Amino acid sequence: MRSLEKQRIIKNIGSSWFALGNNIVVGIFLSPFILHRLGDTAFGIWVLIFSITGYYGLFDLGIRSSVVRYVSKSVATGSKEDLTKLINTSLFSYSVLGALSLAVNAVLTMHVDTLFRVPPEFHSTARWLMFMVGISLALGFPLGVVGGFLEGLQRFDITNMTSVASSLLRAFLIVVSLQHGLGLLTIAFITIILPIIGSVVRGVIALRICPVQIGWRYVDRSTFRQIARYSSVTFTVMVATRLKFKTDEIVIGSMISAAAVTYFNIGARILDYSGGVVQALAQTIFPMVSESEAKGDITRLRKIFVVGNRFCAFITLPISATLFILGKSVIEVWVGKKYVSTSYPVLVVLLLSTTIMWSQMASGRVLFGMSKHRTWSFVTLIEGIGNLILSVALVPPLGIVGDAIGTTIPLAFTGIYFMPRHLCQVLGIRLRSYLREAFALPLLITAPLALTLLLMRRWFIPHNYRQLGVQLLIGGVVYGLGLLWVFSTKRSLNVGELAAKEETAPSGNGVGTPVEAYREEV
């Protein structure tokens, strides 16, 4: 890789991790503060409403991913006219979708207290909360073009730094509000208004970096069709993702209680924070793949796939080992001992499938960047439907753990059986070579960390931040030494022979793929 490209990658990943670290630290201290000030039921309603309105994101229809994809491609090919049409057409489409989401939100606002098991004293609060969040998300649609624009330009640093400022200001305002006796609706207003302000600021910066003319005359029908073709497949993935990860709280809230949502969310929230570390790395891969695909560089695509997943595993495996061994202590220290017995089983069950998913998070970005995500979209949709059916079936006999099991089974199956084989076929790589090159090193250097944590647990079990910090520090040093060895010996970016010894044929975009994969795609 060229020096300039390495600097750009380091800046993007570094700023992403800094923003994520800020969000995790804020969340660690802010979430229990909000929980204990509001109580289990009010906090559960907070989570439930945001889970419901999260489905408004389906109105995106996959447009944001197409913005990232085609901004990257337009920049790589130097087509300013295509870029202008793309931004304006996306902005118009998002504005229409935002108006549609408002109509849906109006209906749900009137019936939210009857659709879910919300206690009578919270009916009015739930309706107002639904209304406020819905308005915010509707405005967020056209503003979302800005985020896709910056990602396509590979300027994650701008998005991340504005996110850090917004997060810190949000935490400060929420703490002050709760200390002055203000309630759930005030917190909601603070939470939804700051991202809107941040998007406006990012929009101004983006147009300064890469000026694009805005106007009705640049809304283009052919560009809309191009976006629609790409987005239609992406939309299927989005639906499946919602079914996999955003139905749990809704199922629990409708079948058990709002308070039960809180207990489930504690285990799931820890995994969200952890998965965000991998997500911050993987998101930088998408525009890199689009750029390489536009240039027809199959060798670089293969290396991005293997090395990208290797780095995902470098992050995933130590996190998973730590949460499995110290998960009870993490929950006790974070929110209190009373949540351990219920939330830890949820954490462990979900950890199995998320570990498999996180360690291959680069795979999905590669498929998106190459516009070869159609097969995966249908597989992941089946996975999402299976998740919903199993969760509904298992909640009555097993409670919130049953919901976690319903999520884990299809997710693990897809991660183990489908994803690695499919990517290796698309890119013409031997499966055995990929598994060895991507995961051997991460497994090797994670083993001493797991052994160290297990030995320390026999010494003492952490019950406060200081004790937990000591064990995490010691484990981190052990793992850090392993990483130091990997990077000092320059093994982190080295890969062996990847291409399968098969006849290849060019796909429509100039990238060589195995003949069978090519014929299947055609």
pLDDT computed for residue 513 by the predictor:
40
Q: CB-side exposure of 355: number of CA atoms within 13 Å?
A: 17
At 274, the amino acid letter reads S
User: Tokens 């503003």 sit at which residue?
Assistant: 143
Q: How many other CB atoms are there within 10 angstroms of residue 333's CB atom?
A: 20
pLDDT above 80 for 412: yes
pLDDT band for position 479 (cuts 50, 70, 90): very high
Q: How far is CA 232 from CA 150, 373, 377, in A?
A: 22, 11, 10
Are the C-beta atoms of residues 39 and 184 closer than 8 Å to each other? no
Q: Where would I find the H helices in 210-297?
A: 221-245, 248-255, 258-282, 285-295
Per-residue pLDDT of 94-142, as tens digits, reads 788 777 877 777 777 776 666 666 667 667 777 777 777 777 777 777 7
Mean pLDDT of the chain: 78
Interatomic CA distance for residues 57 and 260, integer angstroms: 25
- Compute the average pLDDT of residues 288-314: 84
DSSP output for 376-393: HHHHHHHHHHHHHHHHHH
On whether the pTM is more than 0.75, the answer is: no
Interatomic CA distance for residues 128 and 110, integer angstroms: 10
pLDDT computed for residue 233 by the predictor:
63
Q: Is 284 helix (H, G, I), strand (E, B) or coil?
A: coil
User: Tokens 């006790």 sit at which residue?
Assistant: 332
pLDDT band for position 57 (cuts 50, 70, 90): very low
Per-residue pLDDT of 339-353, as tens digits, reads 898 899 999 999 998
Q: Where would I find the H helices in 153-183?
A: 156-179
- Compute the average pLDDT of residues 68-87: 76
% of the chain at pLDDT higher than 70: 79
% of the chain at pLDDT higher than 90: 13
Q: How far is CA 193 from CA 138, 140, 184, 264, 339, in A?
A: 12, 10, 14, 27, 31
Which stretch of DSSP H or E encloses residue 513?
Answer: strand 512-514
Interatomic CA distance for residues 484 and 33, integer angstroms: 37
Q: How many other CB atoms are there within 10 angstroms of residue 37's CB atom?
A: 19
Q: How far is CA 186 from CA 52, 83, 137, 418, in A?
A: 19, 40, 17, 45
At 137, the amino acid letter reads L
Per-residue pLDDT of 435-476, as tens digits, reads 998 999 999 999 999 999 999 988 888 888 889 999 999 999
Of 10-14, 60-64, 373-377, which gets the smallest average pLDDT? 60-64
Interatomic CA distance for residues 490 and 471, integer angstroms: 29
Q: Where are the domains of the chain?
A: 3-521
B/e letters for 150-160, b = 16+ CB within 10 Å, e = fewer, are bbbbbbbbbbb
